[in-house]
Amino acid sequence: MAVGKIATGGRPGAKSHAKVGETFFIDFSGPANDGVFDAAGFERFLHEKIKVDGKAGALGDDVKITREGEQKVIIKTTIPFSKRYLKYLTKKFLKRSQLRDWLRVVATSKDGFEIKFFNVSMGAEEEE
């Protein structure tokens, strides 16, 4: 009887699945303070577009979306949820609101994003 290696659950270097029970946040305090960003519209967009079990808008008890004033949206999940998917939806909202040319989504921590203005310098426009 030959003794072989025991499978460890995947190929080396493979990416792991999204974590279960995560809390993510998106901070949009800069654009909201300037009156450019619609916080209520963004929260409503996330409620309508986040997919759970392949169905958009059917969040149930698995995903909770709350808003802290006009500064931040917090997403709490009890199912596997990708931070990258949240960034994709945020960029989709910015494009739909025609703000994508002026705002960008930047990861500020392991579990959060910040929506910032692009840095536009005046010297770049004065090139010939």
Q: What is the pLDDT, as a whole number, of residue 5?
A: 55
Backbone angles phi, psi at 117, to 5 degrees: -80, 150
CA distance 103 to 74: 19
Q: What does the block give as tokens for 17?
A: 């699945």
pLDDT of residue 119: 83
Reading the block at residue 16, the tokens are 């792991």
Q: What is the pLDDT of residue 70?
A: 87
Cα end-to-end span (Å), the chain: 79
Name the residue with tokens 């949206």: 73
How much is the pLDDT for 101? 93
Enumerate residue ranges in the chain where pLDDT < 50: 127-128
Q: Output the pLDDT for position 21.
A: 82
Reported pTM? 0.77
CA dihedral (69, 110, 41, 65) positive or negative: negative
What is the per-residue pLDDT for 73? 96
